[in-house]
Amino acid sequence: MSQQEVTPPTVSAADIHRINDDSFTGKNVCLVTGAGSGIGRATALAAAGNGLTVAATDIDESGLSGTIERGEELGLEGDIHSIVGDLTVDDDLERIVDDAAALGELSYLANVAGIQHIDPIDEFPMEAYDQMHRIMLRAPLYLTKLCLPHFRASADGRGCVGNMSSVHGHYVTSDKVGYNVSKFGLRGLTQSIAAEGGGDVRAFSISTAYVKTPLVTAQLEDTAEQRGISVEEVIEDVMLGQSRVTEMMEPIDVANLYLIGFSTLGRHLNGGDLMFDGGMTLTYE
């Protein structure tokens, strides 16, 4: 597989899995972070394709415009609304939730946003770690805290949080300590929400191997340099070498998992992790 073959694909209407669910209507709002690209964009489109009103947030205003434009091109049933915000700023987090709640009954939260930095622990810059922690772990916790009163005040008193973990929330690779710690932490957050949700507020996490996203393509050259190998070797050996399914997932594949978890199909999914890793972590040769 070449670098070109891991380029993030465009979501089509046929890619979106439609679910017959009485709660998937325009009066219910799904808040999606990182919605300007990658898995976040695909999740916003999948939620709108299932009739939900989507509050799409990202620091990248042009990326959010692209998500909305793609939704309009596809003629999706639900509306997508742009809420520009910085997940490292508490005032922005509070405004994001307020704006999302103003669109209808805030019922679903998809914590997708993520960043990457590659360095060994003894060279890892703490400012990079702090930023990763705030975006990928602290923001999901605070957004959950802010969303809980809205979930409980809704007509059925229910809500659901989906957190984007990773195979690196189960086992780790070198040179990604900030990412590894955040993804393990998201699984702990997921289980904590389930423990306190009383069955009415559910939570789940999703753990995938490498997905064709800008986050993945952006780390190819850094990983190659860090390990002293070619980009092609990074793809074939590092990213796919331990997987039994030797193709990367696409962002919409992950987005569809979010909607399954949010739906009545996922009503017994609470605190659990959806492991879609192609056999990377639980098999060996």
**Could you give the residue numbers annotated as active site?**
179
Residue type, position 171, single letter: Y
For residues 44 and 34, give the distance between their C-alpha atoms in angstroms, rounded to a whole number: 9
* Residue 4, Cβ density class (10 Å: 0-12 exposed, 13-18 middle, ≥19 buried): exposed
Residue type, position 105, single letter: E
For residues 264 and 158, give the distance between their C-alpha atoms in angstroms, rounded to a whole number: 12
H helix runs in the chain, sequence order: 38-49, 61-74, 90-101, 126-133, 139-153, 177-196, 214-227, 231-233, 251-262
Q: Which residues contact 273 (CB under 8 A, 6 or more apart)?
A: 165, 169, 170, 187, 190, 204, 205, 206, 207
- For CA atoms 45, 50, 53, 54, give the dihedral sign: negative
8-state DSSP, 9: P
Question: Rg of the chain's alpha carbons, rounded to an integer?
Answer: 18
Tokens representing residue 186 in the block: 């998201």
